[in-house]
């Protein structure tokens, strides 16, 4: 809520204790508070009492990403990766127990378990399936809807879980195909819903949609002129860096005298499974849907150098999607070690409007996986907008 705000080009003043009062000390709330204070605003921020498991009554400064989401998840990914690294070096790793991370709605919990596990997926389930598998569990992965990033390149048929029942041997899982398996743990990765129920938003006229997401305009302003919303509670692109961008734009617009809209074009993202997947820009399918011209697709698949020592069979895959008429790179994708680190740099190039010629003229770093992005010279395929792409990636 802002006391000093831009309204029809003029500043509006009122008798309030603060220029900005922020509800929620997650990534967006903290960034918005800090940048607004940097512009001279008097700011207060509130958050629920800390607890590692969130609920309507508990939360903590730092929000989902820092406390129970992205950050601890990636630490678990690092830990799960050691097993493969050790085995690639000829060492044997034994694991008797591991951690189950269980996410859904507004909460996440942990418990200790052993044996075989079964997952229903979007990308968080893929990540935790990798964690469990890396720590020695046998994992089966089920999915119902659109696949996360490069998994579209690997899996093709949707599978539903029709029935779950307890047996003496564990949990019996029956799929819509009639297949059966026994698991020690079944985890449903149901996603998260905006935690707006207890804010009583309707009392002040703030509009929300059917899932509780706060409706905002392109500047993140709600239906009430002096109330703004950023981050996952608006259900736009639910990524921490996007919440940071939205909050920064808010601060510049309201307190910095620099009206600016969040830019959702070419937002990079990653799935931190093992190996990781990362993309930026348009997929081949998206490019064909938007393009007026043919699309050029360049791909590369290779065995990472360190695997030549261990003989580990794990390919890295890269892809560039290019507009045939303008030569502009429309999208990039990678599956393999350090994919997210590499894709962050590629995202800068796409944001700057780089062409395929720009990539081709860039000197690579050798030996590295990243250099493949500037040495892909052979066209894999040329696709017209009327054609159906060979992959959704």
Hey, which residues are catalytic here?
A: 366
Is the sign of the CA dihedral 61, 63, 65, 69 positive or negative? positive
Report the relative pairing of strands 116-121 and 20-23 from DSSP bridges: unpaired
Query: Phi and psi for 214 in degrees, rounded to 5?
Result: -75, 130
Q: Which residue has the tokens 């899982």?
A: 173
In a 10 Å sphere around its CB, with 0-12 CB exposed, 13-18 middle and 19+ buried, how is residue 199 labelled?
middle
Q: Strand, coil or helix: what is 356?
A: helix
Record the tokens describing residue 78, joined without a space.
């690092």
CA neighbours within 13 Å on the CB side: how many for 308? 4
């Amino acid at each position: 809520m802002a006391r000093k705000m831009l309204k029809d080009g003029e500043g509006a003043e009122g008798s309030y204790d603060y220029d900005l009062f922020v509800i929620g000390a997650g990534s967006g709330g903290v960034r918005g508070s800090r940048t607004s204070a940097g512009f001279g605003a008097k700011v207060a921020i509130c958050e629920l009492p800390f607890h590692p498991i969130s609920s309507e009554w508990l939360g903590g400064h730092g929000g989902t990403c820092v406390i129970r989401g992205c950050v601890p998840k990636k630490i678990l990914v690092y830990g799960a990766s050691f097993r493969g690294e050790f085995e690639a070096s000829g060492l044997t790793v034994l694991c008797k127990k591991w951690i189950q991370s269980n996410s859904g709605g507004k909460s996440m919990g942990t418990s200790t378990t052993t044996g075989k596990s079964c997952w229903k997926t979007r990308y968080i389930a893929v990540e935790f399936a990798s964690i469990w598998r890396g720590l020695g569990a046998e994992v089966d992965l089920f999915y119902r809807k659109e696949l996360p990033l490069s998994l579209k390149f690997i899996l093709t048929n949707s599978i539903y879980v029709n029935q779950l029942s307890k047996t003496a041997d564990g949990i019996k899982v029956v799929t819509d195909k009639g297949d059966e398996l026994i698991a020690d743990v079944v985890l449903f990765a149901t996603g998260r819903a905006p935690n707006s129920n207890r804010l009583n938003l309707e009392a002040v006229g703030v509009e929300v949609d059917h899932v509780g997401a706060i409706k905002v305009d392109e500047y993140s302003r709600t239906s009430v002129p002096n109330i703004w919303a950023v981050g996952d509670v608006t259900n736009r692109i639910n990524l921490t860096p996007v919440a940071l961008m939205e909050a920064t734009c808010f601060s510049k617009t309201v307190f910095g005298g620099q009206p600016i809209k969040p830019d959702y074009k070419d937002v990079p993202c990653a799935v931190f499974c093992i190996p990781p997947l990362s993309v930026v820009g348009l997929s081949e399918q998206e490019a064909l849907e938007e393009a007026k011209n043919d699309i050029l697709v360049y791909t590369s698949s290779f065995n990472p150098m360190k695997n030549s020592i261990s003989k580990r069979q794990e390919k890295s895959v890269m892809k560039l999607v290019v507009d045939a008429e303008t030569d502009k790179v429309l999208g990039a994708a990678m599956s393999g070690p350090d994919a997210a680190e590499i894709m962050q740099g590629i995202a800068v190039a796409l944001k700057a409007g780089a062409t395929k010629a720009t990539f081709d003229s860039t000197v690579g770093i050798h030996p590295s996986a990243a250099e493949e992005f500037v040495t892909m010279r052979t066209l894999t395929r040329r696709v017209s907008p009327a054609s159906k792409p060979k992959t959704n990636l």
